[in-house]
Structure 1
Amino acid sequence: MASVRISSQDLDRIIVLRLLSLELQMTCSYYLIVVVLVLLDLSAAFDTIDHTILLHRLEHFVGINESALAWFKSSLYERHQLVAVNEEVSYRSQVQYGVAQDSVLGPLLFTLYMLPLGNIIRKRSVSFHCYADDTQLYISSWPGKTYQFEKLTECIVDIKNWMRSNFLLLNSEKTEVLIIGPKSFACNDLERYLRFDGCSVNSSSSVRNLGVLLDSNLSLESHVSSICKTAFFHLKNISKLRPMLSMSNAEMLIHAFMTSRLDYCNALLAGSSARLVNKLQLVQNAAARVLTRTRKYDHISPVLSTLHWLPIKHRIDFKILLITYKALNGLAPHDGVLVPCRCRLWLA
C-alpha cells in the first residue's frame, strides 16, 4: 500500500469518519450485532494506473475538457525517467503507467481514477470509506443472518474483477479482516462465510486503519500500547543526544517524533478509560523530563505548565472542541462526509 501524506483538512475528515464508524460499530456491539471490517490492500497502486482510462474518467466523470484536459494529457504522457549511478546515466524512457505518488496531484488523480468503485460497492449495499488507495468495507448483521456476510464476499469479488479490468491488483494475502461483536459470539462460525479467492479468511485480533490500531473490542488498547512503545524508543535516542542539543532543537525533535504521535487521531480516545490516558501521560511526562533535565521524582505539573504543554486529557478535549467549533462555524468537511442518519437501534 502506498504512503500518502495526510493534510490537516484530510485529517479532520479521517477523524470524523473514524468517530462515526466507531460509534456505529460500538452501537452494534452493544446490541449484540456483529460488524465485519475489511481493509483492502492494493499492490503498487499508484504505479499501475492506465493513462488512457484516467483521461477518460477526467473527461466523462469529472467534466474536465479542452485546455485543462490537454494539460493533464501533456503531464501524463510527457513524463520520463532515468537512472543515475555516480557519473553514469541511463537513457530516458517514457513513463507509460502510473502517477507520481509524492506529487500534489498524485493522490487526487488516483482518487478520481477510483470513482466508479463506489457504485460497484453500493450495488451490494455495503458501507465503505476510501482515502487514496486505502479502501475499507464494513457491514453489520445479527450473528445468525449469514447472508449479509456472504453479500460482503460477493462485493469483494466484484471489486477484484473491476480492479483487474482497470490494471489494479488487489492483494488478497495482505487484506485484513476484523470482526467486532459480542465476546460470546465465536468468530470461527463467521469466518467460514468469508472467502477471498476461494479460500476462507482468518480474522485478526487487531488491524492498522490509517495509522490507528483497532481491536475486536474497540478498546484501543493495542493502539495506545503501540504509541507508547514507539515514543519511548525515540525518547531513548533523544535522551542520548540531549547533552549535545540546545533547548529549541531538543524540543523540535520531541515534537517531531513524539508529540505528533500523541496527537494523531487522539479524538478517538475521548471517553476512554483513565488507565489508557495515563499511559500516554507517562510518555509526555518522560519527554518533559528529558527536555528540561528534570529529576525523576520532581513534580512534573509545573514543568508542563512552563513548557505550555497541555496534558494528554486536555489535548483530547481540545481536539473534540476544535472539531465541534469547525462543525458549528461551517469549517467542517462539507463533501458528503457528514450524512444525517439514525444510528440508534431499537429492539422489539
Structure 2
Amino acid sequence: MDNYRPISKLSVLAKIFESLVSDQLKDFLIVNNILIPFQSGFRKGYSTITAATKVVDDIVSAIDCKESCAALFIHLSKAFDTVDHAILLKRLSKIGMSDNAIERFKNYLSSRYQCVTCEGIKSGEAELMVGVPQGSILGPLLFTIYINDICTNVDVAAHLYADDTIIYSTARSPYEALNKLQDAFTVLQKNLLKLKLVLNSKKTKFMLFTHSRNVQDLPQIITLYNQKIERVSCYNYLGFLLDEKLTFNPHVDKLVKKLRVKLRFYYGNKACFNLKARKELVAATFLSVVDYGDILYMHAAKSVLRSLDSVYHSALRFVTKAEYFTHHCSLYSLSGWPPLSIRRQHHWLIFIYKAVLGLLPSYILVFSFVENNRYNLRSNNSILFTTPAVKSEFGKIAFRYNAPSTWNALQKQLKISTIIPLNDFKLYVAETFS
C-alpha cells in the first residue's frame, strides 16, 4: 500500500480556468521575486537541463580544485499528496496574496472527495483534507510555493526542481564534506517536519565525488530517526544517470539499451509505416530521447558515444529502408539528418547563446557572460569572453570553462560583433556546421 494514491478527475473547463490562474500566479511570483533562485521547476527559462548543468558544474569545479563533494538526493513520500492545506494557505498569505485570492484558493482545495472502486464495488466517499490535485495545472505550482523555503538555514548548496531536491557540500576532504552534509541534512529534515512532509529514507541516497583515495571509515549519513542513508555509485537525477566519476558512460549505456527497445518495435512493425510516418515516428520517439541532455552526456568516452551512433544508424536505416551495409554518410544524406555529434554541437552552441542573451536562469548567467561584461574583449570585430583557469583536464568539462572556451573558438568562424536574435543565430549555426 506504499504507493496508494488518488487519481483526480478534472473537467476540461476546470483545467482552462486553472491555466488562466496559473499564468497570473506565475506573473505574481516573478514580479515579487518570491521563488528562491535555485528552484528550477515550472519557471520560464528554467528546466531540468539548466538545473543539472548547474549541479554538475559545481561538482566538477570542486573536484578540479582537489576538493571532495558529497551530494544527497532527497526523496519525499507522496509529496504532492501530503501538502497541508492550512499551511499552504498561510504561505500564500505570507507571500502577499490578498484575502480574496486566498479565499479562492481555499475554495479550490476544499470539497474534494475520494473513493475506492475494487472489482466493481465502490466505497463510500471521504473528503480529502491534504494534498494538491493530481494531474492539475495549479498543483505543481502550489507545491513549489509550499516548499520554497525548505532549505532555509541549510548551510550547503541546494537545488530544487519541484519535489526533486539535492543538497551538496564541498570540502578539502571526504570526511569533512560528509560531516557538513549531515549537519545540513539534519536542518532540512526539521524543515520538512514543519511542513508535515515525509522523507522516504529508503529512496533517499547519497553520493561522494572525490579524487581522494582515503575513503575508508567515512561517516554515515543518517536520518533524525537513526536510519542509515545508502551510498550509491550512480543516481538518476532529473533523467541523468550521474556516476561518481562523472563520466556519463553509465547514462549513455542505459540510453542505448532504451533505444534498442524502440528499434525492435520499429522493425517489428515496419510494414505499418510509409516514409513520412517512419520519419515522424523516429523524430518524436527516438531523437527526442537522444537529444535530452546531450550537452551533458557529450563528455562521455568516445567509445561509448560510438555505441549511440550505432543505434542511431539503425534508426536511419529504418527510416530510409537502406541496406544493412549502407555507409553512415549515405544514411545522413538519404535521411537529411546530421550525425549525432553535429546535433550535440548545435544544441550546445544554442544553449551557450541563450546564456549570452540572458534567456537562462541567473545561476547560469553568472558563468562569465552577462555579469562579467567588463572583462569582454573585442578583436577582429568579434565578441569574446575570458576563460577562467582550471587545474586539470577534467575541469575543462565545467560549464564555466567549456562555454566561454567553445564560444571563443566559434568566433573564429562566425565573427559575431553584435548580438543577433536567437533564430538568426540558429540559422547561422545550421549553415556553418552542417
| Same fold per superposition (TM over 0.5) | yes
1:307 to 2:335 alignment: yes
Query: Per-residue deviation at 1:87?
Result: 7.3
1:50 to 2:100 alignment: no
> How has the CA–CA distance of structure 1 residues 200 and 87 changed in structure 2, closer, same or farther, with 3 Å as cutoff?
closer
State the distance in 2 between where 1:305 and 1:103 align.
Answer: 44
Partner of 2:97: 64
State the percentage of identical aligned residues: 27
Partner of 2:213: 185
Q: How many pairs does the alignment contain?
A: 335
Give the match's secondary structure for 2:152.
helix
Partner of 1:136: 166
Query: Per-residue deviation at 1:307?
Result: 2.5
CA contact (8 A) 1:34 1:141 kept: yes
Give the match's secondary structure for 1:118.
coil
State the distance in 2 between where 1:31 and 1:259 align.
Answer: 36
CA contact (8 A) 1:231 1:258 kept: yes
CA contact (8 A) 2:201 2:227 kept: no
Residue 126 of structure 2, aligned match among 78, 90, 93: 93
For structure 2, the residue ranges without an aligned partner over 5 or more in a row are 6-39, 373-387, 392-434
1:126 to 2:156 alignment: yes
Residue 268 of structure 1, aligned match among 284, 296, 306: 296
> How has the CA–CA distance of structure 1 residues 330 and 34 changed in structure 2, closer, same or farther, with 3 Å as cutoff?
closer
Pairing of 1:99-118 with structure 2 (within 5 A)? 99-118=132-151
State the distance in 2 between where 1:112 and 1:241 align.
Answer: 46
Task: Give per-residue Cα distances to partners, 1:244-291, cap 9 Å, x unaligned.
Answer: 223333333323332121011111134443323322211211111122
1:195 to 2:222 alignment: yes
CA contact (8 A) 2:63 2:69 kept: yes
Partner of 1:296: 324
CA contact (8 A) 1:27 1:344 kept: no
Pairing of 1:142-291 with structure 2 (within 5 A)? 142-143=172-173, 146-182=175-211, 184-190=212-218, 192-196=219-223, 197-291=225-319
CA contact (8 A) 1:12 1:323 kept: no
Query: Per-residue deviation at 1:10?
Result: 6.4
> How has the CA–CA distance of structure 1 residues 80 and 181 changed in structure 2, closer, same or farther, with 3 Å as cutoff?
same
State the distance in 2 between where 1:96 and 1:9 align.
Answer: 28
> How has the CA–CA distance of structure 1 residues 340 and 290 changed in structure 2, closer, same or farther, with 3 Å as cutoff?
closer
Give the match's secondary structure for 1:187.
coil
TM-score by length of 2: 0.70
State the distance in 1 between where 2:92 and 2:336 align.
Answer: 48
State the distance in 2 between where 1:312 and 1:241 align.
Answer: 25
> How has the CA–CA distance of structure 1 residues 165 and 229 changed in structure 2, closer, same or farther, with 3 Å as cutoff?
same
CA contact (8 A) 2:73 2:205 kept: yes
Query: Per-residue deviation at 1:169?
Result: 0.6
Q: Which moved more, 1:245-254 or 1:30-39?
A: 245-254
CA contact (8 A) 2:76 2:197 kept: yes
Task: Give per-residue Cα distances to partners, 1:145-195, cap 9 Å, x unaligned.
Answer: x3442231122122222222322110111111111111x5243333x2533
TM-score by length of 1: 0.86
CA contact (8 A) 2:207 2:231 kept: yes
> How has the CA–CA distance of structure 1 residues 10 and 268 changed in structure 2, closer, same or farther, with 3 Å as cutoff?
farther
CA RMSD in angstroms, aligned pairs only: 2.9
Q: Which moved more, 1:31-40 or 1:76-85?
A: 76-85
Query: Per-residue deviation at 1:337?
Result: 5.7
CA contact (8 A) 1:13 1:333 kept: no
Pairing of 1:8-19 with structure 2 (within 5 A)? 13-19=47-53
Which structure is higher in RCO with an 8 Å CA cutoff and minimum separation 6? 1
Q: Which moved more, 1:164-173 or 1:16-25?
A: 16-25
Partner of 1:40: 74
Query: Per-residue deviation at 1:16?
Result: 2.6
Query: Per-residue deviation at 1:91?
Result: 4.5
> How has the CA–CA distance of structure 1 residues 193 and 215 changed in structure 2, closer, same or farther, with 3 Å as cutoff?
same
Give the match's secondary structure for 1:115.
coil
State the distance in 1 between where 2:217 and 2:390 align.
Answer: 24
> How has the CA–CA distance of structure 1 residues 23 and 337 changed in structure 2, closer, same or farther, with 3 Å as cutoff?
closer
Task: Give per-residue Cα distances to partners, 1:193-222, cap 9 Å, x unaligned.
Answer: 533342544421111101100111100010
Partner of 1:321: 349
CA contact (8 A) 2:69 2:177 kept: no
State the distance in 1 between where 2:57 and 2:193 align.
Answer: 34
Give the match's secondary structure for 2:217.
helix
Query: Per-residue deviation at 1:9?
Result: 6.7
For structure 1, the residue ranges without an aligned partner over 5 or more in a row are none
